[in-house]
Structure 1
Amino acid sequence: MTDAVKTDPRAGSTLIEMMAVMVIIAMLASLVGVLLPGTGRGRLKALTLQTAAMMRRERLVAVLTGSSRRISLDTSARTLVGDSGVIAIPRDVVVDVVGVDETWAGRQAVVRFEPDGASTGAAVKFSWDKVRYEVDVSWYNGRVAVDLQ
């Protein structure tokens, strides 16, 4: 004789319980991505685009106000400092600036935008773990271009 196993129709997990477990796992996975050290390709790209946006903004303000605007690099604080704001550079990102060989307010000069739209010209390269992005500023017309290779 076989003994029939009696099952309770209320036994087992419900769909709501399964969804709750999936939400908890998703939250933990997202925290792991945020808490891992290092900049990563996405953050490096964001840093490059923020830098280009600040340069475009400084150029536009120089043209609209008729006054020169400057962006410089504070190497000790690892920040790009413009007249309109500051951008922090992560410690694991290498910064290479090709531009004016001057010092403004104790910081390395990056670029100056003139009221006619022209600039001193510059190239700012950000690199991390074999990834390199670049922001180029034309000296002739102040055009800001981004190279995301």
Structure 2
Amino acid sequence: MARTTITGSAAGSTLIEMMAVMLIIAMLASLVVATVPGTGRSKLKALALQTAALLRRERLAAILTGQSRLVSLDGNARTIVGQGGTIAVPRDVMIDVTGVDEFWSGRRAVVRFEPDGASTGAVLKFSWENVRYEVDVNWYNGRVAVDLP
């Protein structure tokens, strides 16, 4: 009876090696996605919430100071400008403003808050690809609400 012995390594790869390669590829892909510039859903949501916070601050300032406060949109600089601060809008975000059709200091009017808390009312729609967030300002009581999908 003849015995045969196989010595050396077998050709091919094991399941553990394949899993390790797939894990490395997945980690590299996640790094690439994280470093690619662009707005994304989370940045768009943050933009809508920052805008709502600016509008709420302007309303409160109008009530506390007894003077009207203006918020406008600077299309050239892509900023939302309030008397208490500005918010930069990324280039890949579309803004649709429904409200007062005026220009204040060369910028498109967004909303004016009155000392009694009322406002001219406005709807700001921020969209990026298929994602859209709305910031609504009630004309009667000046309440600012964010419509999150």
TM category, shorter: 0.7 to 0.9
2:135 equivalent to 1:135: yes
Q: TM-score, normalised by structure 1?
A: 0.79
Alignment of 1:26-65 (within 5 A): 32-65=32-65
5+ residue gaps in structure 2?
1-26
Q: Counterpart of 1:69?
A: 69
Aligned position for 2:6: none
Provide the secondary structure at the position in 2 that maps to 1:80: strand
User: What residue number does 1:112 align with?
Assistant: 112
* 1:142 CA drift (Å): 0.2
TM-score of the superposition, structure 2-length normalised? 0.79
Q: Please give the alpha-carbon distance, in whole angstroms, between the structure 2 residues aligned to 1:42 and 1:91.
A: 16
Which range moved further: 43-52 or 31-40? 31-40
Count residues in correspondence.
Answer: 124
The list of structure 1 runs, each at least 4 consecutive aligned residues, that deviate by more than 3 angstroms after superposition, is 28-34
Secondary structure at the aligned position of 2:124 is classed as strand
C-alpha distance 35-136 of structure 1, shift in aligned 2 (>3 A):
same
- Aligned AA (2:145): A
Change in 2 beyond 3 A, CA 1:31/1:105:
farther
For residues 79 and 29 of structure 1, the distance between their equivalents in structure 2, rounded to whole angstroms, comes to 33
Q: What is the Cα deviation at residue 34 of structure 1?
A: 4.2
In structure 1, the partner of 2:144 is 144
CA shift, 1:37, in A, is 1.8
What's the RMSD between the two structures over aligned residues?
A: 1.6
Distance 2:89 2:65 in 1: 29
Post-superposition CA distance 1:59-83 (Å, at most 9, x none):
0010001000010000011000000
1:121 Cα offset (Å): 0.1
> What percent identity do the matched residue pairs reach?
72
**Higher Cα Rg, which structure:** 2
2:63 alignment partner, SS class: helix
